[in-house]
Amino acid sequence: MCVAIPGKIISIDGDTAVVSFGGTEMKANVAMVDAEIGKYVLVHAGCAIEVMAEDQAKELIDLFSELDEIV
Amino acid sequence: MNTEEVVRYLKNYDGPEVKLMEVCGTHTASIFKNGIRSLISPRIRLISGPGCPVCVTPTAYIDRCIEFAKEDRHVLYAFGDMLKVPGSKGSLSVAKGEGAKVELMMSALDAVDAAAAHPELMIGIAAVGFETTIPTYAVALARAIEKGLSNLRFVTALKQTFPAIEWICENEQGIDGFICPGHVSVITGSDAFVAFAEKYKRPFVVAGFEGEHLLAVIYEIVRQLEKGEAKAKNLYPNAVRNEGNPKAKALIERYFCAGSAVWRGLGAIPNSGMYLREEYGNFDGGSFGLDDDIKLPRSCRCAEVIVGRINPCDCPMFGKACTPTDPYGPCMVSAEGSCGIWYRNTI
């Protein structure tokens, strides 16, 4: 139920943005986030709930640098 | 560290058996999709918690939704997950077949648009969800107020995960660490788990939904346990801020307030529900006092599945009398229910 999908903001009109999910464009409400064209947002139930900090590939590389080395 | 090193470590782990609970149904699904159990030692047990808002919704709520949808000139909008959940006299899906007006929604905003387009109808929203979804209902209500709509009602069964996690920590023994829900934490922030880690002396680590996220979080929790630590940590920083989403939190605070709610399998938990504030009571579609729950067959063990006491396959009805096409317990109904996920991935 809490599934949220990342998509890229294509255009913004007031509180509504057009967001591209791998090429499929859908409208999403952006009242909860600081929306900017070109940024990635997590969209849940028609609303962007957060702006993603960076692209996912880089994030997964950074993720493992967070972990302790095995001693 | 890289993925291979983490997998090698988790696969070869031969320390004391540890039991980790993933609280979010989307995590349960991702653990199967990515074959996480096959990548880690059997000494690391992953169990599913009450991670699906549909699964913990009591029967009386479904009955109320059906009652609303059957009234003259009423239309109820619901997420697809809700349609098959059995009420005391059938599901929304069955009611729709009998003529009740039930429409699927992708967003609560769909229902607001319908209410604006059809002032002659009373539009209802079956508002179910955790912290992730609650602000989207707030956005819908704000838009309805802005448009001056008087033909929109929210039938709510909204729940907060934190009181439920606290209930589990107080009542269930033997859970060594928690894989914390990523998208709930987007709203609440990961700092919310700091007090839990201190109070219950267990690791609470926020996870994203890719296989790598889950492996990293399992590794982090197991390492903390080995070192005797119990810390809250955010390993989904790309989406989760320590403080959460302040705009979303402000929206929740503005339109909703906490109250007691009944969780299927757990019973009533104080302050675990969210209800429309009194000043917005004219938008409420009869959400209070919906506490009665179905008497499930004696062999149904949904209540134990929800708190992670047993795995779905340990229930005698699993895959036999209870299947996704003919479910008894709500855990089998929802796409994100533990039993449904186990059924689709193991049978």
β-pairing, B152-159 vs B44-48, is unpaired
B148: left (phi over 0), alpha (psi -120 to 50) or beta: left
Q: Which range, B250-259, B260-269, B319-328, has the best average confidence (pLDDT)?
A: B250-259
Position B215 scores a pLDDT of 96
- Residue in chain B nearest A60 by alpha carbon: B212
Please name the fold of domain B1-288+297-347.
Answer: Rossmann fold (3.40.50)
Q: What is the average per-residue pLDDT within B217-223? A: 97
Interface test with A, best of B85, B128, B132, B159 (most A CBs within 10 A): B132
- Please give the helix or strand (H or E) that residue B318 lies within, else none: none
Number of folded domains that form chain A: 1
Can you give the pTM of this predicted structure? Answer: 0.92
Position A57 scores a pLDDT of 58
CATH number at residue A51: 2.30.30.140
Tens digits of per-residue pLDDT, B94-147?
Answer: 999 999 999 999 999 999 999 999 999 999 999 999 999 999 999 999 999 999
**Residue B158 pLDDT > 90, yes or no?**
yes
Report residue B3: phi and psi, to 5°.
-55, -45
Residue given tokens 């700092």 in the structure block? B191
Q: What is the average per-residue pLDDT within B70-89? A: 91
- Residue in chain A nearest B184 by alpha carbon: A2
Measure the CA–CA gap between B96 and B91, rounded to whole angstroms: 9
Return the domain boundaries, chain B: 1-288+297-347
Structural Rg of chain A based on CA atoms: 14
Alpha-carbon distances, residue B237 vs A30, A62, B167, B244 (angstroms)? 20, 10, 27, 11
**Residue B186 pLDDT > 60, yes or no?**
yes
Contact B157, B182 (CB under 8 A): no
Facing residue for B6 by CB, picked from A46, A59, A67: A67
* Containing structural domain, residue A58: 5-70
pLDDT > 70 fraction of chain B, expressed in percent and rounded: 99
Each residue's pLDDT, cut to its tens digit, for chain A (71 residues) gives: 778 988 999 999 999 999 998 889 999 999 999 999 999 999 999 999 999 987 665 676 677 777 877 64
Position B294 scores a pLDDT of 65
